[in-house]
Structure 1
Amino acid sequence: MEMGKGEKSSGEVEAVASKFPLSVCEMAVASTVVLGFVVGLLCVYLTMPASDYSFLKLPRTLEDLQILRDHLESYTSDYTAQVLVGYCMVYIFMQTFMIPGTVFMSLLAGALFGVFKGVALVVFTATAGASSCYFLSKMIGRPILSSLWPDKLKFFQAQVAKRRKRLLNYMLFLRLTPTLPNTFINFASPIVDVPYHTFFLATLVGLIPAAFVTVRAGLTLGELQSIGDLYDFQSIATLFLIGIVSVTPTLVGKSKP
């Protein structure tokens, strides 16, 4: 029987379907996670006082961030719990789905909560978001990574296999240096068989130096002209020293007989 002009053969349908990396079940999992975050943020929004919240948006520039900081400062003292929960959910959501812009969220933590509370908040949310991304990727990540970054995935897999005996050292090295993007590490780690306990410890410790530098810069948000101003000589020196302190316990432990 002849096919009409608008019809496609089964082979063509399969070819179209194969271009989309996720199955129906995998899409359902991802959609459920998104829905959970949306419901949580909606609950936070409903518990805040009636006001104009048009300023609430993901900051993409330092100007956006300064506007957001100016508005949230008045809410933070009276509605601390709601602001904290909302901040954590947004940061974890961005980390889970590899949405760029978490550096602005780290700056915001410093501006609103100060250095020590800000660093603790950023490390907690960044680690939680990375863990969320890790487990989501474990369920649906392989087809996406194989489709988007096949060469980078092969490189990472080979490096992990080669350094299996000292994997924590290698993962700490990756967190402390820009060898591979953190978002890629989060998503690819379960695919290349990095154990979660190693992933978690390297993330928790390895993110502290960068979090400290970024959060501290948030205290003087008005003086920043660009994101590049975060990494002046003093910041880089601080990052380097904290990185050594972070890695030293692991190196000492490995050197013991």
Structure 2
Amino acid sequence: MRSLVGLIAVIIAATLYLYLLSLYLPAGPRRRPPASAESEHVETEKSGQTADEPSRLTFPSDLEELRELAELLQFYKTEHTGYVLLLFCSAYLYKQSFAIPGSSVLNILAGAIFGPYQGLLLACVLTTVGSTLCYALSQAFGKQYIMNLFPDKVSMLQRKVEDNKDCLFFFLLFLRFFPMSPNWFLNMSAPIVNIPITFFFGSVFIGLLPYNFICVQTGVVLSEVSSLDDLFSWERLFQLMAIACMALLPGIFIRRLSQRRLKLDTREHNGLITDKKVQ
């Protein structure tokens, strides 16, 4: 019961922090009217009125909203760099620490706002730190609950960790490159199956690098296009294919290495790996 109370207290404190941080949101830019409405906009300004509406931060549901959010945050970054960085890092760590879906959207925004290099570095660092915080929260508060909720998956992962303890780091990389179990489950169950935090930290940073790379580069591409026609041009398609090929190279290397060193005579079952039966 103490562990549950402690976890709830941490969640409440983190949520309150994000809420207080949002109270200091600077005044945003006003939306520019469409080209077809420019004349009407000028007339309303002359009459002492304004047709502009203040921009607001909303979760994007399509390409256009994603572009608008990226442009809005780029404005904030120009005028309030420290605030945007703090807000983005806080939201990312909150999501990652409590295993909340949405890392792909945040990675795309990182590429659109901070560019290909700073965005990738930021995404990799935040993913690793956030996953490590999830590891720590599970170790401090969630061990018993995770074992009660997922007893079969935890025991199976424990056995695979013991089978590959001589090359544990490469086994963890394999699980990140080829996720046979969701990343959130690996983050929470890692302390239960006695995975050292140093191995965990390094495997997350390297193992999720291709995924972060693809998302960030996609954000860079989306920030440069103005319509779906531009996105599906030959130049953009070739660029996306090149990004995908570069991200696949580490996975190919790890897969070949796993065939020689890791004990992975397995098949997927209920989201986690299980042994094949010998015929």
Question: 1:19-58, aligned counterparts within 5 Å?
Answer: 23=1, 25-50=2-27, 55-58=56-59
- The two structures have a TM-score, normalised by structure 2, of 0.70
Over 6 Å off, 4+ runs: none
Deviation at 1:149, TM superposition (A): 2.6
> Would the aligned equivalents of 2:55 and 2:72 in 1 still touch at CA under 8 Å?
no
Matched, 1:90 2:91: yes
> Would the aligned equivalents of 1:109 and 1:122 in 2 still touch at CA under 8 Å?
yes
Correspondence for 1:68 = 69
CA distance in 2, matches of 1:67, 1:194: 42
Q: Percent identity?
A: 32
Deviation at 1:65, TM superposition (A): 3.0
> Would the aligned equivalents of 1:175 and 1:206 in 2 still touch at CA under 8 Å?
yes
Matched, 1:99 2:100: yes
CA distance in 2, matches of 1:82, 1:244: 40
Deviation at 1:50, TM superposition (A): 3.8
> Would the aligned equivalents of 2:3 and 2:141 in 1 still touch at CA under 8 Å?
yes
Correspondence for 1:119 = 120
Q: Helix, strand or coil: the match of 1:99?
A: coil
Deviation at 1:239, TM superposition (A): 1.3
> Would the aligned equivalents of 2:107 and 2:215 in 1 still touch at CA under 8 Å?
yes
The 3 A distance-change label for structure 1 pair 157 and 97 is same
Deviation at 1:36, TM superposition (A): 3.1
CA distance in 2, matches of 1:128, 1:205: 13
Question: 1:189-200, aligned counterparts within 5 Å?
Answer: 189-200=190-201
Question: Larger deviation: 177-186 or 100-109?
Answer: 177-186
Task: Tell me which of 244, 261, 264 is aligned to 1:236.
Answer: 244
C-alpha distance after superposition, 1:123-155 (max 9, x if no partner)? 111011100100000022223323433322222
CA distance in 2, matches of 1:105, 1:162: 36
CA distance in 2, matches of 1:216, 1:181: 23
> Would the aligned equivalents of 1:55 and 1:67 in 2 still touch at CA under 8 Å?
no
Number of residue pairs the alignment of both structures matches: 223
Correspondence for 1:149 = 150
- The two structures have a TM-score, normalised by structure 1, of 0.76
Correspondence for 1:178 = 179
C-alpha distance after superposition, 1:75-133 (max 9, x if no partner)? 11111111111111111111111111110000000000111000011011101110010
Deviation at 1:179, TM superposition (A): 1.9
- The amino acid that maps onto 1:45 is S
Correspondence for 2:49 = none
Correspondence for 1:81 = 82
The 3 A distance-change label for structure 1 pair 145 and 220 is same
The 3 A distance-change label for structure 1 pair 60 and 162 is farther
The 3 A distance-change label for structure 1 pair 83 and 201 is same
CA distance in 2, matches of 1:156, 1:114: 37
C-alpha distance after superposition, 1:19-66 (max 9, x if no partner)? xxxx2x222221232233234324433443245988334446555533
- The amino acid that maps onto 2:132 is S
Deviation at 1:233, TM superposition (A): 4.6
Q: Helix, strand or coil: the match of 1:219?
A: helix
CA distance in 1, matches of 2:160, 2:89: 32
| Structure 1 residue ranges without an equivalent (≥5) | 1-22
Asked which structure has the greater CA Rg, the reply is: 2
- The amino acid that maps onto 2:169 is L
CA distance in 2, matches of 1:35, 1:100: 19
| Structure 2 residue ranges without an equivalent (≥5) | 29-52, 262-279
- The amino acid that maps onto 2:152 is D
